Amino acid sequence: MSRMDGYPRPHRMVDARLHATLKRMELRVKRGMLLMVTAALVAGCVTGPSGPGMPGFTGTGSDLTVVQIADGFASPVFLTHQPGDDRLFVVEQLGRISIIDNGTVQPVPFLDISAIVQIGNEQGLLSVAFHPDYDINGYFYVYYTDFLGASRIVRYTGTAVLGDPDSDLDILTVPQPFANHNGGLLEFGPDGMLYIGLGDGGSAGDPLLHGQDPTTLLGTILRIDVDDADPGLEYGIPADNPFVGSASGADEVWAYGLRNPWRYAFDAVDGLLLIADVGQNSFEEINVVDDDRGGLNFGWNVMEGNSCFLANNCNMTGLELPALTYENGGNACSVTGGYVYRGSELRRVGGHYFFSDFCGGFLRSFRYDNGSVADLTDWGVNAGAVTSFGEDVQGELYMLTGAGQVLKIVESQ
């Protein structure tokens, strides 16, 4: 199914009583609603480094800790780097991208588009992805919410130190029916394609049934080619996308059945895609699949985690179940996915995937070995309200917090 104008099909209407019931189901305050809260409220969310329901820990570790390298950011939600560049680029939800150079926050932002960004709830400037050939073409891509509440993917042009806010080229616009579950991550995959994470459109319980409908762009991860545009589009449809030419799904869709894939990551070494999908009221989940397996259905809203969501029994045929789940409640509320560690400074954790929780603030990791989770470890760290992870050019990892901090994961002294 072609999406020539970049918009999904019209949203279904939902019975007002059903919507009200589902809205009441949203018992937990989710990530975006907390991003803009006061420091005192953030502190109150964090009660300790462990959470309920985590299966089978190999053990706890004391080898790792975090050190602050910068602070004072306004709701930092993402950290990355330009290809081959050891500086850090920090995305702030209000619409700004700042640079950390040798531990110093530069006074002039790399990009400031705050005048056109809708912020609050789970809306705002949510990520940036630099083109793999940035040093040649100067292209970078941002994901932000406009004043109509739509998710916009826009290309800008920049230099090493400054992005041009007037160079915008609209790539894709996706209307959002609600202000939450917007997803928000852009990542170039090992195949050079741009991947776009979109939540189910929001409210609670997926009242518009987007998760199990790949003909809509919501509740999905999209895969597009930004180097070879198709006629009438500012991007191309990769020929090996799973629904190309089929009425059963949109051409752009790579995977579906996702509630809110706030953060996901590729591990090029092992050829994996790891998706941390924020749950509803019971379970958070992390999915691990081969990165070349398109068309997978991750189960929402038939499933939440490994459990049936809408009924005591459900048909799980054809669904890709998570590699790891944990219960929310207590001090856990919203999984924050990280990266597989491929740096050199941390001994003994090469190949570990790191993750956290917005309310739990913990630092945990596991290896994915022969199709299953191994060496699941809690590192005894309480980082606060963890909004995102980041990775630098050497593969070292960072945690961002709702208190405006950038923390680096290091070995304990």
Which of 213, 178, 177 shows the shortest CA–CA distance to 1? 213
Q: What is the pLDDT of residue 330?
A: 81
pLDDT number for residue 52: 36
Residues sharing a CB contact under 8 Å with residue 47, sequence separation 6 or more, in sequence order: 330, 331
Residue 58: pLDDT band by 50, 70, 90 thresholds?
low
- The answer to whether residue 332 is domain-embedded is yes
Mean pLDDT of 279-294: 97
Is the Cβ–Cβ distance between 87 and 100 less than 8 Å?
A: yes
The residue among 373, 359, 367, 356 whose CA lies nearest residue 66 is 356
pLDDT at 32: 43
Does any domain span residue 325? yes
DSSP secondary structure string for all residues of 288-350? EEETT--SEE--TTTEETTEESSSSS---TTB---SEEEE-BTTB--EEEEEE---SSSTT-T
pTM of the model: 0.89
Q: Is 6 within the bounds of a domain?
A: no
CA–CA separation, 221 vs 264, rounded Å?
A: 10
Question: Structure tokens of 390?
Answer: 């980041």
In one-letter notation, the amino acid at residue 25 is: M
pLDDT tens-digit readout, 344-375: 999 999 999 999 999 999 999 999 999 999 99
For residue 120, what pLDDT is reported?
87
The mean predicted confidence, pLDDT, of the chain is: 89
Q: What is the structure's pLDDT at 331? A: 87
Instruction: Kindly state whether residue 2 falls inside one of the protein's structural domains.
Output: no
pLDDT at 94: 98
Residue 20: its pLDDT value, please? 40
Q: How far apart, in whole angstroms, are the C-alpha atoms of residue 183 and residue 291?
A: 19
Instruction: Determine, yes or no, domain membership for 297.
Output: yes
Q: How confident is the model at residue 413 (pLDDT cuts 50, 70, 90)?
A: confident
156 and 166 Cβ atoms separated by less than 8 Å: no
Report residue 329's pLDDT band, with 50, 70 and 90 as the boundaries.
Answer: confident
pLDDT digit string, tens, across residues 386-407: 999 999 999 999 999 999 999 9
Quote the number of domains for the chain. 1
> Average pLDDT in the 126-131 region?
98
Domain CATH code at residue 59: 2.120.10.30
According to the model, what pLDDT value does residue 54 have? Answer: 53
pLDDT at 35 over 70: no
Is pLDDT of 190 > 50? yes
Position with higher pLDDT, 4 vs 111: 111
On the question of a cis peptide bond just before residue 241, with omega within 30 degrees of 0, the verdict is no
- Judge whether 7 lies within some domain: no
Tell me: the pLDDT tens digits for 164-177?
999 999 999 999 99
Is 336 among the domain residues?
Answer: yes
The model's pLDDT over 198-244, given as tens digits with 9 standing for 90+, comes to 999 999 999 999 999 999 999 999 999 999 999 999 999 999 999 99
Domain enclosing residue 101, as ranges: 16-411
198's enclosing H/E stretch is strand 194-198
> Can you tell me whether residue 143 is helix, strand or coil?
strand
Arithmetic mean of pLDDT, 105-112 = 98
Burial group, residue 69, by CB count within 10 angstroms (0-12, 13-18, 19+) = middle
Domain assignment present for 133: yes
Q: Which residue in this structure is represented by tokens 């053990």?
A: 59
Q: What is the mean pLDDT of residues 179-190?
A: 97
